[in-house]
Structures are given as C-alpha cells and as structure tokens.
Amino acid sequence: MYKVIFSSLIVFGAVAHADNTPTFDFNTGVLSMPFVSTSQGIFNATLQIDPNLPATTFAIKQANPTGIGSDTTTPPTFDFNTGLLTLPKVNSSAGTYTATLQFADNFFKLTMVQPVAAPQQKSSNTIGGCSVFPANNAWNTRIDTLPLHSRSAAWVNVINTAGIRTDFGADFGQPYNIVLGSQVPKYTFNFTIPSESDLTPYPIPDDFRRENTSDNRLFVIDSETCKLYEAYNAQKSNGQWTARRGAAFDLNSNQLRPQGWGSADEAGLPTVPGLVRYEELLTGEIKHALRFTMPSPNGSIWPARHASASGGANNVMPMGARLRLSANFDISAYEPELRVILQAMKTYGILLADPGSALFLSGTPDARWNDDVLAKLRTIKGSNFEVVNSECMMVNPDSGEADPNKCN
C-alpha cells in the first residue's frame, strides 16, 4: 500500500540517526532533521509526510503523558527496518506525550538533502588510542607521486651540502605526555602572545615530561577527548604556568589554526604529528611526514599558518614546504631502523615547521635509539632531496585536508 521514496544520497536500509534535535510540524507534515548520518556521510535533511496520503498515514503509539508545555529535549530515533520514529516528547493541545510514531510501510519522502561533511577516516598514525588527525590530513598523506615545486631547484640549492641531523636520541628529544584528562589537574597559562594562543585549560600531569632545551616545549595528549595540547617555552612557577604561545588541536579534525597564528612551532602547525617515534620503527613503517627545521624560512605556504619573524632570503624555502628524498636514492645499505625513516622521507616527505639548524629532524627520546646509528643519516645531503608542490593537494585553505588527486 505504501512505499519509501529516498533521495539518491541516502540508501534504504542504512542506519540513520539525528545528531541534533529534529522538529515536527503536525500541520504541514514536515519533520526537520538538522543532521542525518548515513554510511555515505552526514547530511542536512528535511523529511516530509506525503501530503497526498490520508491523515492516517501514521499513528501515535504508546502515548504517555509526561507534563504540560514541556519542550522536546531528546532527539528522536528512526528505524528504517521497522519504520518506527520514536519521539520521546511530542507536544499537543492535550499536553506533552512520550510517543512512538509509525509511518505505514515507512512512507515518507525526502524533500531536501544538503551535504554537511563526509565521514572522517581514522589514520593508522595513532598515539594513546587516538588517531593523529584524519587519514586525509596533510601530515598523513603520501607525496611520492606529487609533481615538483617550480622553485625546487633554487630552494634545495640553499641546503645543498647540509646533512640530515637527528634532534633526538637515547636521552634527548621532544617527549609527550599521555593523560586521562578527567584525572589530571588543568591549568590556564599566562601567554606572552595571547592573541595567537588557545586560552583554554591545559591538562598537565604532576610528573610531566618536557623538552629539555631552552625551547621547553610541552606536549600533552588527552586520550579521553583526543585533544593535543602544545605550549612553547612552558614554565611553571609557584603553581602558575607561563608560555610564549599555546595551541589545542582536535585530533579528529582537519581544522587549521587561524591564519597568522603560530603555535609551539613558528609555522602554526602541531609538532607531535611529525615526530619520529621509536615504536613506529617496530611496526616497520612510518606513515606520516616528518618535522624538520632550517635557518630563517622565508614566508609560509599551506598548510603552515604563520611565518618566521625574521624572514630569510628570496631563495630560502617557506614554512610548510614539503621535501621528499629522491626516489632513486639507494637506502638498501642502511641499518633497518634507518631504512624505515628514509622510506618515510620518500613516501611522506619532511615538512618545514620551525626555524633552526638546517635539516634537523625531530623525534622523541627513547633509550632504544642507537645514537651512533642515527649519526649515519648525516651522509644524506640536501642535494638528495626535492621540493614537491604540496599546495596542489589543498582542499580548503583553512583545512589540513589533502587530496593528491587534485594534483593530476
């Protein structure tokens, strides 16, 4: 007797739910569902009862009074298999009722569908059970097939003879803290540059680990909320934390910091996603770009958000530049742990994030590092790299989402 009419964007049988409280107008038969999730993504939708059907198209089931004049506070749920739309609270002239509405044979039609966001695919790059940004984030995107940047030769020439250095080892590097945010103290910072800082409480454990240099970078990952907190030149005195800048990143989001904002890095990018971590070597593969520094970068390009205060010369590459180790560079003679790092340089590249010594890679301290083995990376020179046109992957200038297909 009745059928279901769907837009081609929503598939019959897919489990859907409302992420925001829908509204239903009994006079017009319009059910507005602000967000509808399906296997194909998240959509804005308006559902409307077919006005050509008799009023008995649906019937109220299990109507129980709950009070007069109460607002609808709980989102309804809809089961595509049974056709049951459960409205926890329905207002009528007789009062407010908890009700289940059933559309006869699921008959309704979709009058509007507007995409809001595609579902984010989690990255295989994880820390503390959290995906370190979505799989399509620039940090996690392969660049081995990207075209060269038009200024590759000029930019590489500046670092032509510099050798790779590791700014990490058995007892030095940039550590991070993993916490359960609800179980550690939270602190507000006094920032030297508050206009470029996220003014939010930062969860910091009493036994925190921090970079043991004058930079004093502090990194904390809240495994409950999958938020990354980073602060530059973080100091604690008499119970009060101070820092030059602080940044809070949602690890489930591709959202970049506001244009012109720095972070713990001058480029305004997060630091932790680009660190070399020993546990990654044990898996045999690093699946993200690596962070590196060089003196006085000149300006910035996507996905960087901020330029160094003292810009470099015209032929010095900008913040956000992405380099890759040449495909024809032979890595077979290097130790297994170095081959993992070098392959990452070929597949995901290295990303310029901060001023510093030329071609210094960043990583975490770990007693398992062999500093003598790491030193062998110095034989790899700037001339072994090329700069790719990573900007062609940009989907939105304010998002870290990267699509290599845009570069074809």
In a domain, 10, yes or no: no
pLDDT of 359-385, one tens digit each?
999 999 999 999 999 999 999 999 999
Are residues 205 and 321 located together in one domain of the fold? yes
Greatest alpha-carbon pair distance for the chain in Å reads: 83
- Per the CB < 8 A criterion, the answer to whether 365 and 170 are in contact is yes
Per-residue pLDDT at 74 exceeds 50: no
Residue 242 to residue 149: CA distance in whole angstroms: 40
> What mean pLDDT comes out for the span 158-162?
96
Q: Do residues 84 and 232 both lie within one domain?
A: no
Which pLDDT value is given to residue 86? 56
Decide which of 62 and 388 is more confident: 388
Q: Are residues 96 and 151 in the same domain?
A: no
pLDDT of residue 230: 98
**Residues sharing a CB contact under 8 Å with residue 237, sequence separation 6 or more, in sequence order:** none
Name the pLDDT band for 103 (thresholds 50, 70, 90): very low
User: 62, 89, 117: which is the final residue of a domain?
Assistant: 117
Range of the domain at 362: 126-407
6 assigned to some structural domain: no
pTM for this structure? 0.73
User: Does residue 246 lie in a domain region?
Assistant: yes
Looking at the structure, tell me whether residues 300 and 174 fall in a common domain: yes
The type of residue at 376 is: K
What are 185-244's pLDDT values in tens digits?
Answer: 999 999 999 999 999 999 999 999 999 999 999 999 999 999 999 999 999 999 999 999
- pLDDT higher than 90, residue 101: no
* Among candidate residues 67, 84, 117, the one where a domain is terminated: 117
Is residue 317 within 8 A of residue 298, CB to CB? The reply is yes
Going by pLDDT thresholds of 50, 70 and 90, the confidence category of residue 268 is: very high
Q: How many structural domains is the chain composed of?
A: 2
Beta carbons of 248 and 339 less than 8 angstroms apart: no
* DSSP letter for each residue of 143-178: -TTPPBPTTHHHHHHHTTT-B-EES--SS-S---EE
Q: Is the pLDDT of residue 89 over 60?
A: no
How far apart CA 197 and CA 192 sit, in angstroms, is 9
**Residue 67 shares a structural domain with residue 214:** no
